[in-house]
């Protein structure tokens, strides 16, 4: 099926949508100032949520490598990713990622438990999900790696993202609200460059850095009304690979933020 | 009286009785105990391990000249229940690990038990032999046929005593019925059937029939992309052979009546507690996933274990549990680390005592917890080789949550998450408990006065 076509459509849709609403946002000057003010006091919430998402995606990838993963665990992880996705969709972060790298694979395919739960019978029936082969190919080189470093790299949202798009199949462009190819590419890049070790080791140790995560992520859903701040906060790390500067200093970026705000 | 231990179960003091398994520091994976189960009289105690072995302990008769020394459990029989297999169709190794053992009620001199790994359930007969027949007419003592020309007279065979031998023989093998991993088996109170549950389906078997089973629950969606929930445990009602429950990864319990329809895809009762919004987090669903479900002996209550709590539900009230006990609430602030190192997916089990008044479940750091339902007192005990002297009273342990750590307290950060107590068992009528700690089995008893 026409990947290119699907890709095109999504991009087109996004631009149209954003343009059509752009002006309305500038009417609300206060809003923008408010968000800017909020941006100065960045809560680390979004970064940590991103880390959790990255961690979950790595776990899912490892599940995919197994013929028969622990189904309960896989389903729970997939649901966690869905939940993060939902929240990011609500606060606009998801669309932003989508805008940045429109047209890459949807996370939906990854979260899909279909891949996790294939039985031999279903494979024989030809219900094998096409993406799976891609996954395996991508993962083949990752069977062995150094573990301590991976976790820190993988979970650090500040690490440079590989924006090069690697086309996975898209079935429903409309449903593809966003994707994590970026982060996945990065994950794989990291995994592949490491010295031999076992996959199991990857999660065998508790990374102390996550103790900070705990405090933020646990019980945070009750106060998630961070509003536009969220969008601003993740924006720099998500968009720019070369600049770590604050986004308020960059007018173009600010312009873009506005687009996103409007879209959400 | 030890402070903090209080009136748990009318002043029951637990003391060390026995420990089974090696003291070696390096633990072989195959030796890790994966299930523990008393039989219906409590005379036998079975363990299964990751190496596919079943070890049965038998309680020795109490001797009259040593009244303080109560019946200890000694190895009665050991056998290899499951072997590692290879599924050539799937290119998949099927582990030999014993997931569950369930005893059948004893009906004659022999004992019967069901053991299961991920895919195959087996019915084992464990029987004793202390006599052997001698003096056959056509065979000699070694079993070889005698030359008919040598047979000149007819004799009557006799039974001669011999050394006691315990034999375990596989009587039935129930295979090829599960696509996913079997998490539970449960013997029905009709004693003729049992069920086996995997992640998405529950099958009903007759003990006599191995080549077919009835599928009584199937939650596999037509489109697996829509799968968001799995079956985590299932059990028959102890008295009503038509009733069973199963729990799910979303923290709910369904009670089904097999009289309603052959396929129980519609539950008769649905137990679910509304989510507490103040405790919501990304981990809410994971920690509410139920790892074990057990009917009380009376059949009136069900107990469920999730990651942080044990809940007791009244069969007559579906909208919330009647009791909730915190097992290790101090981990609530550590959920992200526990997610990262996968501990959050550990499947802790839970058990009732004989009178349904106390419940027990495991935790980390070789700690296990007991909750007295009447007095609402709870205690944390430790299965450890230190102070494992005979009849040494177990000291209650305390985990320090923030602030200053008092003497004898252990801080949350120094808990050993590799030492987890997932499987425990309670003697059906006495205060004797069996606690599986990695490759060791601890047996504790209440203190005799």
Please say whether the dihedral angle defined by the alpha carbons of residues B173, B177, B180 and B183, taken in this order, is positive or negative: negative
What's residue A188's pLDDT?
Answer: 47
Q: Which helix (H) or strand (E) holds B360?
A: strand B358-362
Q: Does B24 touch chain A (CB under 8 A)?
A: no
The reported pTM is: 0.72
- Whether B230 sits inside 8 A of A71 (CB atoms) is yes
- Round to whole Å and give the CA distance between B154 and B138: 10
Instruction: Tell me if chain B has a CB within 8 Å of the CB of A223.
Output: no
| Nearest one of A206, A73, A62, A55 to A142, comparing CA atoms | A62
Span A19-65, pLDDT tens digits: 333 333 333 344 444 444 444 334 688 888 999 999 999 999 998 88
pLDDT at A197: 43
Of the candidates A148, A162, A251, A118, which has an alpha carbon nearest to the alpha carbon of residue A209?
A148
Residue A246's pLDDT band, with cuts at 50, 70 and 90, is very low
Residue B402: the pLDDT is: 75
Cβ-defined contact of A218 to B333 (cutoff 8 Å) = yes
Average pLDDT of the segment spanning B138-163: 87
User: CB within 8 A of A51, min separation 6: which ones?
Assistant: A155, A156, A157, A213
What are the DSSP E strand ranges found in A13-117? none
Q: Does A80 touch chain B (CB under 8 A)?
A: yes
pLDDT reported for residue A131 = 32
Q: Judge whether A52 is closer than 8 Å to chain B, CB to CB.
A: yes
Cβ separation B345–A76 shorter than 8 A: yes
Is the Cβ pair A73, B342 closer than 8 Å?
yes
Is residue B449 classed as helix, strand or coil in its secondary structure?
Answer: coil
**How far apart are alpha carbons A135 and A142 in whole angstroms?**
11
For residues B72-100, give the mean pLDDT.
94
Chain A positions in Cβ-Cβ contact with residue B339 (cut-off 8 Å):
52, 55
Instruction: Select from B282, B341, B342 the Cβ nearest to the Cβ of A80.
Output: B282
Q: What local confidence, expressed as pLDDT, does residue A120 receive?
A: 38
Q: Is B337 on the interface with A (CB under 8 A)?
A: yes
- Of the residues B184, B282, B345, B411, the best mutation for testing chain A's interface (the one with the most A CB atoms within 10 Å of its CB) is B282
Tokens found for residue B207: 């003990």
Tens digit of each residue's pLDDT (9 = 90 or more) over B311-363: 999 999 999 999 999 999 999 999 999 999 999 999 999 999 999 999 999 99
pLDDT digits (tens, 9 = 90+) for B266-318: 999 999 999 888 888 999 999 999 999 999 999 999 999 999 999 999 999 99
Chain-chain contact of A70 with B181 (C-beta, under 8 angstroms): yes
CA-to-CA distance for B64 and A146, rounded, in angstroms?
62
> A233 near A260, Cβ under 8 Å?
no
Structural tokens at position A80: 């966690």
Residues of B in contact with A121 (CB under 8 A): 179
pLDDT-above-90 percentage for chain B: 79
The whole-angstrom distance between A152's CA and the closest CA on chain B is 12
Does residue B200 belong to the interface with chain A, where contact is any CB pair within 8 Å? yes
Per the CB < 8 Å rule, is B283 touching A210?
no
Q: What is the 3-state secondary structure (H, E, C) of B58-117?
A: EECCCCCCCCCCCCCEEEEEEEECCCCEEECCCCEEECCCCCEEEECCCCCCCEEEEEEC
> Do residues B382 and B397 lie in contact, with contact meaning Cβ atoms separated by under 8 Å?
yes
- Quickly state the pLDDT bin for B56 (edges 50, 70, 90): very high
Average pLDDT over residues B109-134: 95
Among B250, B230, B221, B229, which Cα is nearest to B180's? B230
Q: What is the pLDDT of residue A162?
A: 34
**CB distance A257 to A235 below 8 Å:** yes
- Contacts (Cβ under 8 Å, ≥6 apart) of A202: A58, A62, A145, A147, A150, A151
Mean pLDDT of chain B: 92
Q: Say if the Cβ atoms of A71 and B91 lie within 8 Å.
A: no
What kind and span of H or E run contains B434?
A: strand B432-437
Is residue A147 over pLDDT 60? no
What is the DSSP code string of B411-429?
EGGG--TTSB--EEEE-SS
CB contact, 8 Å: A201 with chain B?
A: no
Listed by number, the residues of chain A in 130-189 with a beta carbon closer than 8 Å to a beta carbon of chain B are 151
Q: B339 to chain A, minimum CA–CA distance in Å?
A: 9
CA–CA min distance B258, chain A (Å)? 26
CB B356 within 8 A of CB B298: yes
Q: Buried b / exposed e across B110-130, counting CB within 10 Å, b at 16+? A: ebbbbbbbbbbbbbbebeeee
* Residues on chain A touching B278 (C-beta within 8 angstroms): 219, 222
> At B327, phi and psi to the nearest 5?
-85, -50
How confident is the model over B80-90, as a mean pLDDT? 92
Task: Give the pLDDT confidence of A80-118 residue by residue, as tens digits.
Answer: 999 999 999 888 777 666 555 444 444 555 555 444 434
Task: Indicate the range of A48-57, A203-212, B238-247, B396-405 predicted with least confidence.
Answer: A203-212
**C-alpha distances out from residue B102 to B28, B47, B108, B299, B431, Å:** 25, 10, 17, 18, 20
Rounded Cα distance, B236 and B193, in Å = 10
Which residue of A79, A122, A218 is in closest CB contact with B335?
Answer: A218
Q: Name residue, tokens 């915190």.
A: B326
For residue A251, is pLDDT > 50? no
DSSP state of B364: B
User: Residue A60: its pLDDT value, please?
Assistant: 92
- pLDDT for A252 equals 52
B229–chain A nearest CA distance, Å: 7
Q: Which SS3 state, helix, strand or coil, does residue A105 take?
A: coil
Contact by Cβ (8 Å): B225, B161: no
- The phi, psi pair for B185, rounded to 5°, reads -130, 150
């Amino acid at each position: 099926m026409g990947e290119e076509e699907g890709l095109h459509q999504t991009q087109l849709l996004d631009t149209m949508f954003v343009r059509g609403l752009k002006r309305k946002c500038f009417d609300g000057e206060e809003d923008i100032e408010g968000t800017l003010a909020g941006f100065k006091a960045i809560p680390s919430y979004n970064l940590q949520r991103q880390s959790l998402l990255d961690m979950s995606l790595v776990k899912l990838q490892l599940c995919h490598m197994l013929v028969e993963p622990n189904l309960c665990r896989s389903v729970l992880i997939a649901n966690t990713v869905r939940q993060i996705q939902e929240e990011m969709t609500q606060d606009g972060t998801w669309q932003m990622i989508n805008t940045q790298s429109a047209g890459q694979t949807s996370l939906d395919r990854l979260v899909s438990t279909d891949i996790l739960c294939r039985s031999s019978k279903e494979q024989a029936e030809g219900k094998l999900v096409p993406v799976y082969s891609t996954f395996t190919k991508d993962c083949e080189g990752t069977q062995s790696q150094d573990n301590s470093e991976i976790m820190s790299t993988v979970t650090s949202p500040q690490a440079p993202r590989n924006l090069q798009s690697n086309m996975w199949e898209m079935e429903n462009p409309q449903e593809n609200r966003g994707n994590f190819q970026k982060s996945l590419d990065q994950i794989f890049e990291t995994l592949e460059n490491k010295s031999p070790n076992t996959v199991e080791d990857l999660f065998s140790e508790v990374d102390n850095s996550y103790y900070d995560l705990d405090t933020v992520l646990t019980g945070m859903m009750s106060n998630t009304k961070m509003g536009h701040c969220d969008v601003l906060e993740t924006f720099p790390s998500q968009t720019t690979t070369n600049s770590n500067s604050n986004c308020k200093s960059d007018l173009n970026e600010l312009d873009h933020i506005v687009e996103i705000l409007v879209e959400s | 009286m030890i402070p903090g231990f209080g009136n748990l179960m009318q002043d029951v003091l637990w003391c060390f009785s026995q420990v089974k398994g090696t003291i070696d520091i390096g633990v072989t994976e195959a030796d890790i105990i994966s299930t523990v189960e008393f039989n219906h009289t409590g005379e036998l105690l079975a363990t299964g391990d990751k190496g596919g072995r079943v070890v049965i302990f038998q309680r020795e008769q109490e001797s009259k000249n040593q009244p303080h020394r109560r019946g200890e459990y000694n190895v009665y029989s050991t056998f290899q229940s499951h072997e590692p297999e290879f599924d050539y169709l799937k290119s998949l190794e099927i582990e030999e690990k014993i997931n569950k053992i369930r005893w059948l009620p004893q009906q004659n001199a022999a004992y019967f038990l069901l053991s299961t790994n991920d895919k195959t359930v087996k019915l084992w007969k464990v029987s004793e032999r202390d006599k052997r027949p001698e003096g056959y007419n056509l065979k000699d003592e070694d079993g070889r046929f005698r030359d008919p020309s040598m047979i000149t007279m007819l004799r009557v065979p006799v039974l001669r005593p011999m050394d006691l031998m315990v034999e375990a023989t596989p009587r039935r093998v129930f295979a090829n019925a599960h696509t996913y991993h079997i998490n539970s088996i449960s013997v029905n109170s009709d004693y003729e059937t049992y069920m086996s549950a995997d992640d998405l389906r529950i099958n009903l078997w007759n003990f006599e029939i191995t080549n077919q089973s009835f599928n009584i629950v199937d939650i596999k969606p037509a489109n697996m992309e829509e799968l968001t929930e799995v079956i985590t445990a299932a059990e028959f009602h102890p008295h009503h052979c038509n009733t069973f429950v199963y729990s799910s990864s979303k923290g709910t319990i369904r009670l089904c009546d097999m009289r309603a329809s052959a396929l129980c895809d519609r539950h008769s009762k649905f137990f679910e507690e509304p989510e507490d919004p103040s405790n919501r987090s990304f981990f809410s669903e994971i920690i509410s996933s139920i790892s074990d479900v057990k009917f009380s002996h009376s059949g009136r209550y069900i107990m469920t274990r999730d990651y942080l709590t044990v809940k007791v539900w009244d069969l007559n009230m579906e909208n919330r549990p009647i009791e909730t006990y915190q097992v290790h609430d101090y981990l609530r602030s550590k959920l992200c680390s526990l997610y990262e190192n996968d501990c959050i997916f550990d499947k802790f089990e839970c058990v009732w005592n004989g009178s349904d008044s106390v419940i027990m479940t495991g935790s980390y750091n070789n700690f296990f917890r007991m909750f007295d339902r009447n007095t609402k007192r709870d205690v944390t005990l430790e299965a450890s080789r230190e102070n494992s002297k005979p009849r040494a009273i177990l000291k209650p342990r305390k985990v320090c949550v923030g602030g200053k750590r008092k003497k004898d307290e252990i801080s949350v950060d120094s808990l050993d998450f590799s030492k987890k107590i997932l499987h425990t068992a309670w003697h059906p009528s006495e205060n004797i408990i069996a606690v599986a700690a990695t490759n060791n089995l601890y047996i504790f008893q209440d203190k005799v006065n």
